[in-house]
A and B are shown apart, each in its own frame.
Chain A
Amino acid sequence: MKELFPAKQVWGFVFSLILTLAALTVYFFNMSKAMGMTIFILTAFIQAAVQLVVFMHARETDDSKSIFMTLYCAIFLAIITVVGTILCMIWGWTY
């Protein structure tokens, strides 16, 4: 019975719900902008990791090395894009 019960997935599901609720607090409670953004960013990244590892089985096959390579590449490009966008549209904006 114990092998059949998908404990990891159930916990993953509960955990992802908790993360969602944590993000929702930003809307319902009055807090500073910095605080809100920190909560958003933290919960978003943890959420993504949970989804990848628990539900998309990123670590369960032999080619997990190449999966993570592409993943890191994607994260890298995403960071470049986001930082570049903020650089153009906010930090470096002169109008």
Chain B
Amino acid sequence: MGFFTRFLIPNPSPVIYTSMVAIGITILLIVFGLTHFKKWFYLWSGWLTTVDHKRIGIMYLIAALLMLFRGGVDAVMMRAQLAIPDNKLLDSQHYNEIFSTHGVVMILFMAMPYIMALMNFVVPLQIGARDVAFPRLNAISFWLFFMGAMLFNISFVIGGSPDAGWSSYFPLAGNEFSPHVGTNYYMIAIQIAGIGTLMTGINFMTTILKMRAPGMKLMRMPMFTWASLVTSVIIIFAFPVLTVALIMGTMDRLFATKFFAMTDGGMDMLWANLFWVWGHPEVYILILPAFGLFSEIIPTFSRRNLYGYRSMVASMVFISIYSFFVWTHHFFTMGQAAYVNSIFSITTMVIAIPTGIKIFNWLFTMWRGRIRFTVPMLYSIGFIPLFTIGGVTGVMLAMSAADYQYHNTMFLVAHFHNVIIPGVVFAVLGAATYYWPKMFGFMLNERLGKWAFWFLTIGFCLAFFPMYITGLDGQARRIYTYSESTGFGPWNMVTFIGTVLMAISFFLIVYTVYYSIRHAPKDVGDDPWDARSLEWATHNPVPEYNFAIIPQVSSREAFWDAKYKGHELFKGDYEKIHMPNNSGGPFIMSCIFFVFGFALVFSIWFLAIMGLIGIFVCMALRSFEIDHGRYISVEEIKETEAKYGGVNK
């Protein structure tokens, strides 16, 4: 019995027991459904073993939506607790667990995979390639992310969730102050997902540098591809720091090392330092692809080419290097001298310049354009003013002296939600709508989509603008209650109402998908938006080989020029196409990673060693595997293309 007590939750509550039952029932229903409809084989051969970048992209998308739900539930609970003064809905321990998991889930398991979903789906199409450079590595990336996310998510029903914040500062996150296994979950689950992300970075950098269609020079790449390239570079430089910091944290918690201890030569501040050395570049890993997506959407719906292509590229490259120079702005109040803070204040303010340049470029793109107010365009137009407010408050926070007032208040919380929601979330929602016909062959309902947009935007403003006010008045973040005399009550109620509107918007989005699956016409043609870049030159939905003939690029907006200036994209005849084989390896290895991680969280050493051996066996088997891929014959291509009505010439 003693062995099993470790799996109990330290602070149970009826809500958690209910969710345990709900999770159990859902799993049973899924298993039952798959068996009843005889879908096990389809699931295995079509999805679990796939190495196709498009399917991997779609799986990222589904995972991201699930995590958006999970993180959203956390958010609603937090804001319900704070809606009125001295509320007793949650106790402090639960509140701590909820804000910690909310942050991790939203940044690492919602925003990141959402970005990965779009990168996976769009980048190979945009550069005219048939897949990424290392398709199987790509599958490993996805499954590692997925298993990391699942490991993190079971924490609240098995063993207890992390409760030291999404930044998990030591010494609070050390064994002394966080004795239960929650923070082990944090260290290990993020580690597993992070390895996957690092491999994605390597994969996409190689893909973009090596696999572009003939004629696509670097300066002819679409802006989203540029953004993905720059993002991959930041990932490759930033994620190793996180990996090392997490290993050190894990060692401190499991093997009693003293890296971040306050005694024996350890240094607790070093964690905060390493965390933000990764953490600040990480926020740019999120926002640059979002910028790239807006740069695809805005020209399409303004019917003009992107203004200032070169300055767009230059500012991104500048940001990619410069984002490594500013991390100290996250701990101005921690005890370094004023001159150190001044240095980082200045570097931080400078980074607002390239961001500003991009804002002007989008405005100039729309200037005198013929704007169509579709859902993706609404998200882009909403993004510009709202994100600018977030950027301006960022510059306010960057003044280190003033930051002593703002730091760790609701003002800071308002700032980063103000950049992440209109920046990242608007981008991925808009882009998912934009690329939906590419992925599934039908459009999402525009009317419902606009409702969702307005609910989200109004909800966002109501939810976060009051926080600027209460934050300046001194309402601290991560505190589960406040007294009535503070006067924060009414503002927090407004915030709660905004949160509810945003939750409604989430359900509207889900309903839009459901409604469109049932009612949208299945035949939208290959270019429903009158778009400009190469991904729209192939069919909707995209055949497994992407392009029957590899396109020849001779300008920046290859597809637009093919449509309106008579450039010829597809020259020559069909040839047989080489494709990679599916493989169960990535999925199986990631499952073993899950077991390994779980064993480490609970210090079950025997299982952990078995898991580690299993992982190495998988890698060894892969090294000796001979797999030359397969070919799609010319007849097969002809058949498929005939179904779509021939290659778009």
Contact = CB atoms under 8 A, between A and B. Distances in A.
B335 A77 contact: no
A84 B335 contact: no
Interface in A70-95: 73-74, 77, 80-81, 84-85, 87-89, 91-95
B517 interface: no
B548 interface: no
Interface of A: 66, 73-74, 77, 80-81, 84-85, 87-89, 91-95
Given A87-B340, A88-B340, A94 B335 contact: yes
Give the residue among B267, B336, B337 with the most A Cβ atoms within 10 A: B336
Contacts, number: 43
Interface string B319-333: 001001101100100
Nearest to A94: B337
A89 B321 CA distance: 22
A14 B581 CA distance: 41
A77 B325 CA distance: 9
Contacts of A88: 273, 328, 331, 336, 340
B371 interface: no
A18 to B, nearest CB: 27
B324 A95 contact: no
Contacts of A81: 241, 277, 324
B340 A85 contact: no
Contacts of B324: 77, 80-81
A73 B236 CA distance: 12
Nearest to B281: A77
Interface string B492-519: 0000000000000000000000000000
A91 B277 CA distance: 18
Contacts of B336: 87-89, 92-94
A80 B273 contact: no
Interface in B393-452: none
B270 interface: yes
B325 A80 contact: yes
A93 to B, nearest CB: 6
B269 interface: yes
Contacts of A74: 237
Contacts of A73: 237, 321
Give the residue among A88, A92, A94 with the most B Cβ atoms within 10 A: A88
A93 B337 contact: yes
A80 B269 CA distance: 18
Interface string B324-352: 11011001000111011001000000000
Contacts of A94: 335-337
Contacts of A77: 237, 321, 324
Contacts of B343: 87
A89 B327 contact: no
B80 to A, nearest CB: 38
30 contacts: A66-B209, A73-B321, A77-B237, A77-B321, A77-B324, A80-B324, A80-B325, A81-B241, A81-B277, A81-B324, A84-B325, A84-B327, A85-B273, A87-B336, A87-B340, A88-B273, A88-B328, A88-B340, A89-B269, A89-B270, A89-B336, A92-B336, A92-B337, A92-B339, A92-B340, A93-B335, A93-B336, A93-B337, A94-B336, A94-B337
Given A80-B325, A92-B336, 12 more contacts: A66-B209, A73-B237, A77-B237, A77-B321, A85-B277, A87-B340, A87-B343, A88-B336, A91-B340, A92-B339, A94-B336, A95-B335
Nearest to A85: B273
Nearest to B267: A89
Contacts of A85: 270, 273, 277
A81 B328 CA distance: 10
Nearest to A82: B277
Nearest to B210: A63
A85 B331 CA distance: 12
Interface string B258-288: 0000000001011001000100000000000
Contacts of B209: 66
Contacts of B273: 85, 88-89
Interface string B219-243: 0000000000000000001000100
A85 B277 CA distance: 9
B374 to A, nearest CB: 39
Nearest to B326: A84
Interface in B155-210: 209
A34 to B, nearest CB: 19
B602 to A, nearest CB: 33
Contacts of B269: 89
Contacts of A84: 325, 327-328
Query: Which 9 residue pairs spanning A and B have beta carbons closest together?
Result: A92-B340, A92-B337, A92-B336, A95-B335, A88-B336, A94-B337, A77-B324, A85-B273, A88-B328
A61 to B, nearest CB: 12
A4 to B, nearest CB: 24
Contacts of B270: 85, 89
Contacts of B237: 73-74, 77
A66 B233 CA distance: 13
Contacts of B340: 87-88, 91-92
A87 B328 CA distance: 10
A83 to B, nearest CB: 11
